[in-house]
């Protein structure tokens, strides 16, 4: 497995570390980590040279977001995983062309197989890039075994709402507006910007900020909250939905792909672009104990399909296919 350079975000690395531990015994995997992290000519050259040095393997699986690295992986079978397409879809002008060419089109041409984590990402990829649909496979993300059921009595007052992520697509602005006037505490996993903090203050929303947490601390934060609000406007998948379901928390999420598919009926869905829809969804979960119980039960059923063993088996079968074994 070839990973990107260490940086602020380790979700991809943690994901594939869990998958590697669940591989069948006949799959022997090692991890190689790229030397550079930035998107500049020096980093591209260094990472391509690093990629060319990867030799003692049958298949190279580029797991991280430096997709262009597969261009240096000659004389080896290559699997490329693409997690989402925001890097292209939110870029403009020459920057968009650069990312489309180096991060998407050429890597997809080079890879023997391309995996994506949702049907939504597959459909967007095929719209953006003329690539053979037969080489693109959907293999979902899995939930780490660290996320296990942890019952929590519903509080008498001030339920804790977990919001995972503070980038623009995580929708903090609308969630803060939806929470205005409610007796809740908004617990944010991620550091909000100065503008976002000012908005939270204007809306009078009680809140906590949690960032720089270790993996066990992230799990503990989920366990300390009463419901998870993940009404993102754009995702490649939506892992917090499954993590919340595995812990046993009711989930409020978006009614758009891929979140509505990942939730599998185990979440209340709302329009992420409509503050009133988000607010109504929160009020329903906050006030209806039967609904909360139903969402948690359906969530437990849904998350079973996303075990590390199941996802690892799908990757192992794909490696066999690539090698013709």
pLDDT in tens, 156-179: 999 999 999 999 999 999 999 999
The beta strands (E) that lie in the chain are given as 2-3, 32-33, 59-62, 77-82, 113-116, 136-138, 160-164, 185-189, 206-210, 227-230, 251-254, 268-270
Domain of residue 221, residue span:
160-305
pLDDT of residue 68: 95
pLDDT at 233 over 90: yes
Residues 165 and 244 in one domain: yes
Residue 175 in any domain: the answer is yes
Computed over every residue of the chain, the mean pLDDT equals 94
Q: Taking residues 312-321, what's their average pLDDT?
A: 96
Q: What is the pLDDT, as a whole number, of residue 55? A: 85
Range 123-156 burial, b when 16+ CB lie within 10 A, else e: ebbeeebebeeeebbebbbbbbeebeeeeeeeee
Would residue 154 count as lying in a domain? no
pLDDT category of residue 4 using cuts at 50, 70 and 90: low
Tell me if the bond preceding 272 is cis, omega within 30° of 0: no
Q: Are residues 312 and 293 in the same domain?
A: no
Ramachandran region of residue 45, left (φ > 0), alpha (ψ -120 to 50) or beta? alpha
Of 15-29, 31-45, 240-254, minimum mean pLDDT range: 31-45
Q: Are residues 125 and 235 in the same domain?
A: no
What is the greatest pairwise CA distance in the chain? 63
Q: Percent of the chain having pLDDT more than 90?
A: 87
Residue 18, helix vs strand vs coil: helix
Rounded mean pLDDT of 211-227?
Answer: 95
Question: Around Cβ 166, how many Cβ atoms within 10 Å?
Answer: 18
CA neighbor of 13 nearest in space, from 85, 81, 96 = 81
Q: What is the pLDDT of residue 8?
A: 46
149 three-state secondary structure = coil
Q: What pLDDT is recorded for position 276?
A: 98
Looking at residue 191, its pLDDT comes to 94
Domain count, the chain: 2
* Residue 309, helix vs strand vs coil: helix
Are residues 78 and 196 both part of a single domain? no
Say if residue 177 is in the same domain as residue 294: yes
Rounded (10°) CA dihedral 37, 40, 42, 46:
40
Helix/strand/coil for 257: coil
Tell me the residue ranges of DSSP E strands in 98-241.
113-116, 136-138, 160-164, 185-189, 206-210, 227-230
What is the domain-level CATH number for residue 166?
3.40.50.2000
CA distances from 157 to 21, 160, 170, 183 (A): 41, 9, 26, 7
Residues 284 and 317 in one domain: no
């Amino acid at each position: 497995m070839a990973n990107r350079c260490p940086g602020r975000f380790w979700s991809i690395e943690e994901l594939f570390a869990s998958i590697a531990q669940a591989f069948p015994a006949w799959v022997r995997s090692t991890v190689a980590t790229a030397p550079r992290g930035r998107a500049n000519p020096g980093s591209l050259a260094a990472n391509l040279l690093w990629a060319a040095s990867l030799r003692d393997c049958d298949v190279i699986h580029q797991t991280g977001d430096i997709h262009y690295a597969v261009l240096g992986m000659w004389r080896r079978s290559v699997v490329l995983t693409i997690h989402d397409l925001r890097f292209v879809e939110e870029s403009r002008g020459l920057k968009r062309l650069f990312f489309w060419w180096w991060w998407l089109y050429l890597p997809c041409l080079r890879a023997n197989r391309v995996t994506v984590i949702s049907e939504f990402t597959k459909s967007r990829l095929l719209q953006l890039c003329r690539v053979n649909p037969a080489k693109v496979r959907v293999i979902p993300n899995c939930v780490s075994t660290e996320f296990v059921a942890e019952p929590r009595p519903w509080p008498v007052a001030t339920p804790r709402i977990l919001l995972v992520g503070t980038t623009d697509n995580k929708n903090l602005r609308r969630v803060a507006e939806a929470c205005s006037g409610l007796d809740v505490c908004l617990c944010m996993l991620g550091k909000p910007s100065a503008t976002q903090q000012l908005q939270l203050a204007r809306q009078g929303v009680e809140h906590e900020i949690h960032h720089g947490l270790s993996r066990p601390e992230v799990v503990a934060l989920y366990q300390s909250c009463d419901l998870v609000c993940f009404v993102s406007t754009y995702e490649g998948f939506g892992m917090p939905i499954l993590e919340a379901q595995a812990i046993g928390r009711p989930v409020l999420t978006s009614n758009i792909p891929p979140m509505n598919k990942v939730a599998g009926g185990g979440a209340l869905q709302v329009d992420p672009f409509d503050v009133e829809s988000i607010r109504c969804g929160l009020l329903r979960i906050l006030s209806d104990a039967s609904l909360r119980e139903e969402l948690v039960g359906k969530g437990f059923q849904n998350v079973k399909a996303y075990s590390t063993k199941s996802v690892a088996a799908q990757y192992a079968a794909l490696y066999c296919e690539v090698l013709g074994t």
